[in-house]
Structure 1
Amino acid sequence: MRREVLRLAVPAFLALVAEPLFLLADSAIVGFLGTTSLAGLGVASAVLLTAVNIFVFLAYGTTAVVARRLGAGDQAGALSAGVDGLWLSLVLGFLAAVGVALWAHPLVEVFGATPGATTEAVTYLRVSTLGIPPMLVVLAATGVLRGLQDTRTPLVAAVVGFTANAALSLLLVHGVGLGIAGAAWGTVIAQSGMAIALVLVVLGGARGLGASLRFHAAGVLRAALGGVPLLVRTLSLRAVLLLTTWVAAGLGVAELAAHQVAMTVWSALAFALDALAIAAQALTGRSLGAGDVAGTRAVTWMMVRWGVWFGLALGALIVALHRVLPYGFTTDAEVRAALAAALLVVAVGQPVSGVAFVLDGVLIGAGDARWLAVAQTLFLLAYLPMVLGVWSSGVVGVAGLVWLWVAFTGFMAVRAAGLLWRARGDAWLVTGAGR
C-alpha cells in the first residue's frame, strides 16, 4: 500500500509544488515593480483564485466519481463521467469569466486597499478573466486523470505550463514593459496551453473505450448537482481566506504586501501537503468502489501519520529560511520584517495543516461531500470570533499581521479536529460504484 500511495503522491506532489513555485515567481517578478504592485497582485489573486477555486469540485468530485467506477470495474463509465465534467467546466468557466470581468472593480474595492493598489489589481484581474475557462478545464481534466490513478500526466502539464508562465511573465512584465498586466497575460497563455494538452489526453482515452464525447445535458446536470455540496464546502473555505485578506488590508500597505507573500508561501506548503490528499482521494474512491473498507482505514491512518511528519519537516524548513525568503520578494525593509515574522507562525501550523489536508482528501474521495459542506460552514463560524477579534483590537503593523496569522492557524486546528472526529466514525465508509 505504501508503494501505491507513493506512486500517486510523488507525481502529485511535484505537480502541486510546481504551481505555487511559479506563483511565487510571479510574486517576485511583480514585487520588483514596487510595493503597490505587489499589494495589488495580492488583492487580485484573492479574487481570481476565489473565482477559480470555488469550482475545485471539478477536480475533487470528478476524481472521486471516476475512481469509484474504476474500482467497480466500469472504466468506460468512468471516462463518460469525466467527459461530462469537462463540458461542465466549459459552461462554468464562461459564466465565471463574464461575471468577474463585469464586476472587477467592485470586487477589488471590497478589500479597501489604497487607490494605487486597487488600480493595479483591476488591471491584473481584467486580463486574467480570459484564463478562467481554461483554468477550470485544467481542473476537470486533472480530476479525470487522478481518478484513473494517473498523476504523472498532470505533472508533465504542470511543469511545462508553469515554466512557460514564469518565462512569459518575466518577458512581458520587465522585457516588453507591460507591467502587472504582463503577468496576467503570461498566466492566460500558459493555462490555455495546459487545458488543450490535458483535454487531448482525456479525449484520446475516452475514444479508445468507446465513451461518448457529446454534450449530454443529463450527465452534465448530474455532475453539477453532485458538485453542489463541495461547492458549499469550498465557498466556506474561500470565505475564510478572503476574510483574512480583508483584515490584512486594514493593517497597512506594507503588511498587506507581506501578507500576500506569506499567503503565497502558505499556499505553496498547502499544495505540497495536498499531494497526500490527492492520493487519498484516488485510493479511497477506488478501494470503496471495490468494497475494501479495511484497506481504506489502513491507508487513511498511514497517510495521516505521513501528513504530520511532512508538516513538521516543512515547518522546520520555513523556520530556517524565514529571514532569507523575504529578500526574494521585495526590496522594502518594512515588508521584509513583517513577512519574516508572519512566516514563523506559518511554520508552526504546518503539522496541523498536514492532518487537515489528508483527512479532507479522504472524505472527498469517499464522497462524503454533504458532511464536508456542513462541517466547513461550522469551521467558518468558529473562525469569525478569532479573526474579528484581530480586526477589532486596533493592533496594526507587524504585531497585527502576526496575530492575524495566529488566528488563521487556530482555524486550521479547529478544522483538523473536526475532520479527525469524522474519520474515526463509520458513516463515511460507503461502498460501491456510486454513493
Structure 2
Amino acid sequence: MTQAPATTRATRRRHDREIVMLAVPAFGALVAEPLFVMADSAIVGHLGTAQLAGLGVASALLTTAVSVFIFLAYATTAAVARRVGAGDLQAAIRQGMDGIWLALLIGATVIAVVLPAAPSLVGLFGASDTAAPYATTYLRISSLGIPAMLVVLAATGVLRGLQNTKTPLYVAITGFVANGVLNLGLVYGADLGIAGSAWGTVLAQWGMAAVYLVVVVRGAHRHGASLRPDATGIRASAQAGAPLLVRTLSLRAILLIATAVAARLGDADIAAHQIILSLWSLLAFALDAIAIAGQAIIGRYLGADDPQGAQAACRRMVQWGIAVGVVLGLLVIVSRPLFLPLFTSDSTVKNTALPALIMVALSQPICGVVFVLDGVLMGAGDGPYLAGAMLVTLAVFAPVALLVPAFGAGLTALWGAMTLMMTVRMLTLLLRTRSGRWVVTGATR
C-alpha cells in the first residue's frame, strides 16, 4: 500500500465502528445461508436414505449453480458503494437495478438448461439408481428458485453498497424460519415427500426475493431512480462481473482438485478432508464478513474521491483480518478434541484429521489477510487483477496438490498445499495493494 499520513486514534476508532457495524450483520447473514441445506437435510433424512442421497446430489448441483454467480453480489456492492460515496443515490440504486435485471436473465437461462438436463446432470454425479429419481425431482423443482436466489444475491449487493447489512441479516433469518416451517408442512403435513421439501425451499426463496425487491423498489421511488431494464446498464454489470466469475470458477476448481486428491488418498483421508473442509468453510464466513465490510467501505471512499481514507481503511481492515485469523487459529487448536467427535467416532479418521487441523489453524492469519484484501480490491472494482491472480494461484496449486499422492504423502501434506495456495493469494494481493494501482477514485472506475 502506498504511504499515507499516520492514522489517528480517532480515525482508527471510526474505521473500527464501520467494520463492526457492517461485518457483524454480514456474518449472521452468511451463516444463515448454509442452514437452508442443513434444515432440508434434517427433514428429508427422516424419509429414507435414498431420499437423503438424492437431496445431497441435487443440493451440490444447486449450490454450485448459485455460488458461481456470486459476482452478482460482489460487483453490485462495489458499483453501488462508489455512487453512494459520490453522493448520487439515484445512480446507486439504478446501478443496483441493472444487477437485479441481470440476475433475472441469468436465472431464466439456468432454468432453461436445468429442467431438461436434470437427469443427465444427476447422472454426472454418479447417483445410484434408487437415489437418482429423488435427485432429479428435487433438482427440477428447486431450479425454479434459482432466479430468486440470484435476485437475492444482487439485491444483497445493493444494500451492502448502501452500507446496510442489517436488512440482509433479517431477511436471511426470516427466510430460514419460513423454509423450515414450509418444509415440515409440505413434506409431512401434505405428504409430498422430497418434492415438498423442494417446493418449500422455492417458496421461501421467492419470499426472500420479494422482500428485497420491495426494499429496493421503495428506495428507487424515493430517489427517483428508474426501474425499467436498461440494456447498456445490464451489459455493464455483466462486464464488471465477468472477471469475478473467472475468479470464482478458479477457486471452485481448486476446491474440487483438493477433494479429488483426498479421495485418491483413501476413505479415511476423504472423510477427514470433508470434516476439515466444513470447518474451513465456517471459518471463511467469519473472515468473509470483514471482506464484505471492505467492499462497501472501500467503494464508498473511492467514490467520494478520498484515496487516503480508502488506504487508511485498508490498513485497518488488514489488522482486523490478522487479529481475527489469530483468534480463529487458536480456537481451532483448542477445540480439536471436541470438534472431531461431533462428526465421527472412527479413530483412524480422527488421527488423520488432527495434524491437518494444525495446518488449518496456522494458516488462519494468512487467510485473514487474503479475505480482507480480496474484499478491498473487489470494493475498488479491480476484478481483472483478481481474476488473473486467481488463475496464477490455480496454476501453482494444481501440480503441487496432484503430486501429494505420487510422493506417498497424506492429508496433512494436501492441506499444506492448501496453505501454499492461500500464501500465493496473499502475496499477489499484497503486491497489488502496495502498488496503489487499485486506488482509482470517482463514481465509476
Alignment of 1:1-400 (within 5 A): 1-21=15-35, 23-24=37-38, 44-110=58-124, 124-166=138-180, 168=182, 184-251=198-265, 256=270, 259-329=273-343, 343-390=357-404, 392=406, 399-400=410-411
Alpha-carbon separation, structure 1, partners of 2:353 and 2:345: 12
The one-letter code of the counterpart of 1:13 is F
Question: Cα distance, 1:407 vs. partner?
Answer: 2.5
Give SS of 1:306's match: helix
Alpha-carbon separation, structure 1, partners of 2:52 and 2:307: 48
Alpha-carbon separation, structure 2, partners of 1:299 and 1:155: 24
Are 1:417 and 2:427 an aligned pair?
A: yes
Contact 2:370 2:422 in 1 (8 A): yes
Backbone CA RMSD of aligned residues: 3.3
Question: What does residue 4 of structure 2 align with?
Answer: none
Question: Cα distance, 1:298 vs. partner?
Answer: 0.9
Contact 1:274 1:358 in 2 (8 A): yes
Alpha-carbon separation, structure 2, partners of 1:154 and 1:209: 21
Question: Cα distance, 1:347 vs. partner?
Answer: 3.2
Question: Cα distance, 1:356 vs. partner?
Answer: 0.8
Question: Cα distance, 1:231 vs. partner?
Answer: 1.4
Give SS of 1:227's match: helix
Question: Cα distance, 1:354 vs. partner?
Answer: 1.2
Give SS of 1:322's match: helix
Alpha-carbon separation, structure 2, partners of 1:422 and 1:115: 50
The one-letter code of the counterpart of 2:427 is A
Contact 1:36 1:253 in 2 (8 A): no
Alpha-carbon separation, structure 1, partners of 2:53 and 2:79: 39
Q: Sort the Cα spacing of 1:99 and 1:351 in 2 relative to 1 into closer, same or farther, 3 A.
A: farther
Tell me which structure has the larger Cα radius of gyration.
Answer: 2
Question: Cα distance, 1:275 vs. partner?
Answer: 0.9
Alpha-carbon separation, structure 2, partners of 1:38 and 1:329: 17
Alpha-carbon separation, structure 2, partners of 1:66 and 1:356: 23
**Greater shift in the superposed pair: 95-104 or 367-376:** 95-104
Give SS of 2:214's match: helix
Percent same amino acid among aligned pairs? 56
The one-letter code of the counterpart of 2:404 is V
Question: Cα distance, 1:332 vs. partner?
Answer: 7.1
Matched residues, number: 431
The one-letter code of the counterpart of 1:426 is G
Contact 2:37 2:59 in 1 (8 A): no
List runs of 5+ in structure 1 lacking aligned partners.
Answer: none
Question: What does residue 408 of structure 1 align with?
Answer: 418
List runs of 5+ in structure 2 lacking aligned partners.
Answer: 1-14
Give deviations 1:369-395, integer Å, cap 9, x for gaps. 111111111111111112212354577
Give deviations 1:99-132, integer Å, cap 9, x for gaps. 2344445445555677777776555544432221
Alpha-carbon separation, structure 2, partners of 1:36 and 1:251: 27
Alpha-carbon separation, structure 2, partners of 1:100 and 1:49: 13
Alpha-carbon separation, structure 2, partners of 1:77 and 1:171: 43
**Greater shift in the superposed pair: 55-64 or 97-106:** 97-106
Give SS of 1:211's match: coil
The one-letter code of the counterpart of 1:165 is N
Give deviations 1:238-297, integer Å, cap 9, x for gaps. 222233333344455665555444433322221221111111101111101111111111
Q: Normalized against structure 1, the TM-score is what?
A: 0.86
